[in-house]
Amino acid sequence: MFLRVWEPTKKSNKAILILHGITAYSGPYEVMGKNLSKLDYTVLGLDLRGHGLSDGKRGDYPSRKRLIMDLTETIAFLKQKFSILILLGHSLGVLSALIAVNHCLEDINGLILMSAGIEAKPGVYTPLSTKEKLKILFSSIFSPSKPVISYKHDGMTGLDDPLFNFKYTLRFMKIFKIFDAKSLKTTEKLKIPIILGVGDQDQIFTVESAQKLLDEIPGDNKKFFVISGGTHTDFPEEGFVPLINWLEETF
């Protein structure tokens, strides 16, 4: 598992772990990582197995158990070094963060959730044809580790970056339940502080859908903010002011 690090100018006992979105890896979060490190946080980006510079079959995950172990082992490793650890999940990384919460809540001090909602906008994803469904089904039976599902939507980034993934296996999609956004919720009341942000021009989720997601996460210490001019992956620097204020007030 590869961890990218953005160090603050002075030693800190506080860290933020970035969990990337689908198709991506930690590299595209350079600007975010550098800016957050200026707040005296050590910022780290984890490349999920099969993504970026981590080992594993591209676009695949062998099992949900392996995903849980990767997340919990990474978090346990970081908690040996930092007394405060905040997870920052972006898009698919929101689900990764909530999976981690369900398995190692005692090691997590806060959640930053970005660009996610309870359900995608209508028409964002093109429905699969019968032929495509059969191809995916047969592949999942005879070659479960072969990526055959193309992931695409308008406004995608990273098309020229060889470390991005644009094809996935069925078992990866099932593990992350990417086709069931309503699974983005935890099962126990959370006492840790949570903030969720979304761009008002997000191509996948509406502001209302993002607010509903936050409402479904059980907990009382929650904050919501909208980034004016922000899309699913790109945000103007001034849009992060509410997040910066939240970090300074909370930690």
Q: Give the helix/strand (H/E) hosting 46.
A: strand 42-47
User: Quick one: what percent of the chain has pLDDT higher than 90?
Assistant: 78
State how far the Cα of 75 lies from the Cα of 68, in Å rounded to an integer: 11
Contacts of 11 (CB under 8 A, 6+ apart): none
Whether pLDDT at 186 is above 70: no
Work out the widest C-alpha separation in the chain, in whole angstroms: 57
Whether pLDDT at 185 is above 60: no
State how far the Cα of 83 lies from the Cα of 114, in Å rounded to an integer: 23
The answer to pTM > 0.85 is: yes
State how far the Cα of 110 lies from the Cα of 107, in Å rounded to an integer: 10
Per-residue pLDDT band for 179 (boundaries 50, 70, 90) equals: low
Per-residue pLDDT band for 183 (boundaries 50, 70, 90) equals: low
Per-residue pLDDT band for 187 (boundaries 50, 70, 90) equals: low
State how far the Cα of 113 lies from the Cα of 45, in Å rounded to an integer: 14
Q: Dihedral of the CA atoms 25, 30, 34, 39 (nearest 10)? A: -40
Residue 125: domain span: 2-250
List the strands of the sheet with 42-47, edge to edge: 2-6, 42-47, 14-19, 84-90, 110-114, 194-199, 222-227
Q: What is the CATH number of the domain that holds 104?
A: 3.40.50.1820
**The predicted structure's pLDDT at residue 128:** 86
CA angle (56, 181, 112) in 5-degree steps? 75
Contacts of 225 (CB under 8 A, 6+ apart): 195, 196, 197, 242, 243
Residue indicated by tokens 């590299």: 27
* Number of separate domains in the chain: 1
* Range 104-132 average pLDDT: 92
Contacts of 19 (CB under 8 A, 6+ apart): 46, 48, 87, 88, 89, 90, 93, 94, 96, 97, 100
The number of beta carbons lying within 10 Å of the beta carbon of residue 49 is: 20
